[in-house]
Structure 1
């Protein structure tokens, strides 16, 4: 009898507890926010805020237009949390454009962050995760906390953390806002057995006056002045070359000094150089490989930026990533290895050709030449981040995203220019994609002496390259084993918001020694190409088909394995699997592309070679590095000025991607014509002076003037 009584008592207690938390959080939120204003008791130490808030409350009750505008701009209800809609803006522009000169009041927009969870007695394991329940299909017959609960599924986007916009008088500070929300919303949640944690800082708020009164810094003035000067030089150089080409300048009016200054900026010659077809087309396939890889990379980064910064239907992303058809997106990070592969291949080819022609090389000059190839454009983009990005837009997340990126560059620009930003303070990295430029340069520095050694000691090729490959495979595998981490970048959308704040990104992903495998394969690919070419091997049509489909099957098999194994089905972390897979998937990707390059070099691939060698790829390939520098900045700017959450769909995403890719390519073309090619030409002239090259043999000043234009064309085309 006693046991029965205890059982009934426990059931009664359980029913009472359940009856206390039946109200949906959204209803509690709507009830509080529909009549929310700054608590008068929270502003006792801020007289200006108290006066402004009292006026706002009075006019709100009276239905005054300006007060209703501010109230109407705030978020009153939250919906879509269960589908991942965790970002609710309201109407930021309506808030900050509200100005009441008679009362000296303006709207101040704040984006508040909230985290909800049930009280411990109801759901003690809310953050623990449960493998058996953490993958779809979910049980919708459970309580709504089941839909908000933390899940071990790597694709799960957090639903218990969300943000919403509030409009308050500009005299009030975030402290008053936070205190008022704690007294109203947090207290109301507590009565319904909901624990809520809030956070808002001045960095989450902005006013119209703050945006309008941003100072134009000296750096911004200098940047714009230099830009306008370069534009004028481009116009002058283009006109001068056009006059020369059409013989519209008399001999007396031609100035060699003026020509040497402005001709490097001529659009006519630079566009011809950008689109010129190389005489040796054996490696023209690399143009297509680089251009297509850059398109895939921009596509992947578009997804990273878009998915990481909020969508009203994040559930769609989770569903897409679980399908095998999303294998390209899931494996997007491996595309960067293509550029490391091509870089290693071309570095070996260029250096060996130079050594054969001259017998030796000044390694320091080789390093300096590589630095000067990238430096002018790199500095242009970094200084744009530093001085122009923080003053060119506004929005609810502009300070959070755009100004954050600018501050990182103001703090750590020097680590980029010293090529150490992937090791020194990487969590505050200037330009989150710049790790690639640094890693590639570090691999270049390490590889040049090795290539020189292999030129001097040809018999050492196989043991040295095998040793390099073994170490490049073993080192990252050991690091993965030691730190018990994934062997590939997990598609965790919460990590996409700000990769430099993710330990996996800063502690493993961006380190050059962990990405060296494709670079070594590129070096090996060059020496294999040389051997095959000297042996005059010709691949039969059958062997080419077998190699092509074999490489394709390996690539597709690896991609599908990643999708099916890690994402489409419930997956529990297996350390051994990730240690092995980390090396294998990079080897498969790099070796497959190397096979195609070697076969194309010696025997061509028929229609496949024709596709990869289309002239369209040549300029796009030459713009790759600059496109890489600018494209994420464009995406982050677009996200930071958004005032409404984005509803995603296949067609809409592709349209947005093509827009970003096209604009990034145009900006890359602009910088290439304005900065990269002119300064590359000036550097070539500087090298001739440094190396003491003989002067022009033409003694006649008139002949020098006539040949100046032709000499410049030959120099640029080289």
Structure 2
């Protein structure tokens, strides 16, 4: 017995580096006795109850975690077998012990999240089968003298969270994730009770969700939705194969031949890489490309907050620096897309009004549906029914499986383009709230443009009233719900969700910048600002333009610094007026480019890369988050954080490649299907030309 205990002690020292006193827990009797362990931990709790110190966390944190007092008799028997096997140095038992996370070095540098060994745990299939669970530990040190220690243990409180917060899209940054390997017969409730008892008196609360436990080769139940999804994707593959193989270069004469041509990869790839030199509104492609890149990096930084780092406090320090305001002001980049959408929608509607004097509403709505829905539907089906079976990992159940369950329950809201009215917690593909807003604002723009066309004074009065009301709604939402449109340092996850639910994802609150785009389209088409500037005036125009942009982005920088305490006034001012100031910046820049005042910036604005990116922009927007969270879900171990991780070349190439594939395989074919079955005959188009 002494020899076995000595070997176990050596193993513990090599694995945990926690000191010789851990042998209290490792030198276990040959026969498991619940009362011995219970009395031992009860006495330790009593002894340290009055003089609690941080060293208790190291001394008393359990290294051998097994639900010995489980509700299930089978779990209790398997726990007994595990302890006996550990005493006899059986390999499977040592693997179960080895796969469980241990207190590491560097906790005060942010090395708190410990996944253990996910794969080693799942590979245990001997006397007892392994189950991997990722527990959430909430450490509370809110007592005088522990403030800085609390700051370090929670990795700088970049975001404040707790175990009950939604974690599948917004990270539970303040929670400590702890990987535990237990017998598969034990439940998450058994593990939660065991950890809660063992950690009582240490200021640590525990939550273990059943969905955060994994057993090898346990597949999701087959469902009608999964069968439908597989059928849908097989149908797409069949059409792509037939269309590509049977494409002889000739234009089809029947609708079926045209349908196959629409799914020809050869045609679509060639069309994708042909830079269309048709007359387009100058600057739009560059606006979209630059803002898409900025938003991509902002989204990546949020996904990174899910990952464990050995120096996670450095992560907080970097994003608490003044320059990080560029990323924290991400709402202005989404405002840019709303401006572009408002401008293009109004411009197209005005073109139709100039030609016909009316708008074909039915045709417009069908066209919009074919533009947005097929690729949107494909991604929802893939993320809901296919992606969960592709891989696994410590956080896979949280960021992939849990999101799949949300989609399965709430996908119908996305089908109707109303999903942005139900908050992030109940939204399938949370980043697609912009699609819902865009569709709703587009539908509202049609009668608005008709009104402007026929009753100009009444129309402009309505535009002004809506813009003012939208600004007032943003201001009042800040005061009513104590929220902020700027991601200030130390914001809680719940406040982020509230900000989205009560303002950020609502078209009523975001209409101002959209209407600025509508107004700009009207003024440019009617040449309301058609005048000439001297070189000095043009330079002054650009100075004013970029000053407005810098003021919008940098004005709330103080809110992004560590230690910031929330204030209503700065948050309300930023929420209410940043869309207006940013809209003025967009208008001035847009007018300057359209009137050839870009100077040396003309080459950048007309860069062919932006014209190519415009064709895959929708794919980039939709596919980035599934790729980001796929990588979060499969991550096994902590890594060393550096700011360069914000620019992961392989991941960005994956986003680019996936966007190209989805564009040529789904988006372009369905756009052609619309033209085949709902568009005007080619002869009519030639007559119009």
TM normalised by structure 2 equals: 0.84
Corresponding position of 1:584: 577
Relative to structure 1, is the Cα distance of residues 74 and 233 closer, same or farther in structure 2, using a 3 angstrom cutoff?
A: same
Corresponding position of 1:174: 188
**Matching residue within 608, 612, 618 for 1:619:** 612
**Matched residue SS, 1:603:** coil
**Matching residue within 620, 633, 640 for 2:626:** 633
Corresponding position of 1:115: 138
Q: Shift of residue 365 of structure 1?
A: 3.0
Could you tell me which runs of 5 or more consecutive residues in structure 1 were left unpaired when the two chains were aligned: 1-15, 127-132, 139-143, 246-253, 698-710
Relative to structure 1, is the Cα distance of residues 308 and 95 closer, same or farther in structure 2, using a 3 angstrom cutoff?
A: closer
**Matching residue within 88, 91, 100 for 2:114:** 88
Cα shift readout 1:472-527 (whole Å, capped 9, x = no counterpart): 222211222333332434354763xxx89822222222111111121011011112
In the alignment, the residues of structure 1 paired with residue 140 and residue 601 of structure 2 have an alpha-carbon distance, to the nearest angstrom, of 56
In the alignment, the residues of structure 1 paired with residue 377 and residue 90 of structure 2 have an alpha-carbon distance, to the nearest angstrom, of 51
Q: Shift of residue 582 of structure 1?
A: 1.6
**Matched residue SS, 1:503:** helix
Relative to structure 1, is the Cα distance of residues 599 and 531 closer, same or farther in structure 2, using a 3 angstrom cutoff?
A: farther
How many residues in Structure 1 have an aligned counterpart in Structure 2? 632
Contact preservation (8 Å) 2:332, 2:553? no
Matched, 1:399 2:425: no
Matched, 1:37 2:54: no
**Matching residue within 566, 572, 575 for 2:568:** 575
Contact preservation (8 Å) 1:113, 1:163? yes
In the alignment, the residues of structure 2 paired with residue 70 and residue 17 of structure 1 have an alpha-carbon distance, to the nearest angstrom, of 30
Corresponding position of 1:186: 199
Matched, 1:546 2:546: no
Cα shift readout 1:7-66 (whole Å, capped 9, x = no counterpart): xxxxxxxxx999822352441245x31x44332xx14x5332233222221111111111
The within-5 A match list for 1:37-76 is: 37-39=66-68, 42-43=69-70, 46-76=72-102
Contact preservation (8 Å) 1:308, 1:494? no
In the alignment, the residues of structure 2 paired with residue 632 and residue 500 of structure 1 have an alpha-carbon distance, to the nearest angstrom, of 21
Contact preservation (8 Å) 2:490, 2:562? no
Corresponding position of 1:22: 53
**Matched residue SS, 1:381:** helix
In the alignment, the residues of structure 1 paired with residue 286 and residue 299 of structure 2 have an alpha-carbon distance, to the nearest angstrom, of 20
Relative to structure 1, is the Cα distance of residues 98 and 494 closer, same or farther in structure 2, using a 3 angstrom cutoff?
A: farther
Corresponding position of 2:4: none
- How much is the aligned-residue C-alpha RMSD, in angstroms? 3.1
The within-5 A match list for 1:124-273 is: 144=149, 147-148=152-153, 161-183=175-197, 185-187=198-200, 190=201, 194-210=202-218, 213-244=219-250, 256=254, 258-273=256-271
Relative to structure 1, is the Cα distance of residues 460 and 632 closer, same or farther in structure 2, using a 3 angstrom cutoff?
A: same
Corresponding position of 1:676: 667
Relative to structure 1, is the Cα distance of residues 645 and 29 closer, same or farther in structure 2, using a 3 angstrom cutoff?
A: farther
Contact preservation (8 Å) 1:56, 1:67? yes
Relative to structure 1, is the Cα distance of residues 458 and 306 closer, same or farther in structure 2, using a 3 angstrom cutoff?
A: same
TM normalised by structure 1 equals: 0.81
In the alignment, the residues of structure 2 paired with residue 37 and residue 611 of structure 1 have an alpha-carbon distance, to the nearest angstrom, of 62
In the alignment, the residues of structure 1 paired with residue 341 and residue 154 of structure 2 have an alpha-carbon distance, to the nearest angstrom, of 46
**Matching residue within 500, 504, 509 for 1:505:** 500
Cα shift readout 1:182-217 (whole Å, capped 9, x = no counterpart): 44x225xx3xxx33322213212111132xx44454
Cα shift readout 1:554-591 (whole Å, capped 9, x = no counterpart): 2123322222x212375443323322222222222221
Corresponding position of 1:387: 385
**Matching residue within 331, 334, 341 for 1:333:** 331
Could you tell me which runs of 5 or more consecutive residues in structure 2 were left unpaired when the two chains were aligned: 1-46, 163-172
Relative to structure 1, is the Cα distance of residues 514 and 488 closer, same or farther in structure 2, using a 3 angstrom cutoff?
A: farther
Q: Shift of residue 449 of structure 1?
A: 0.8
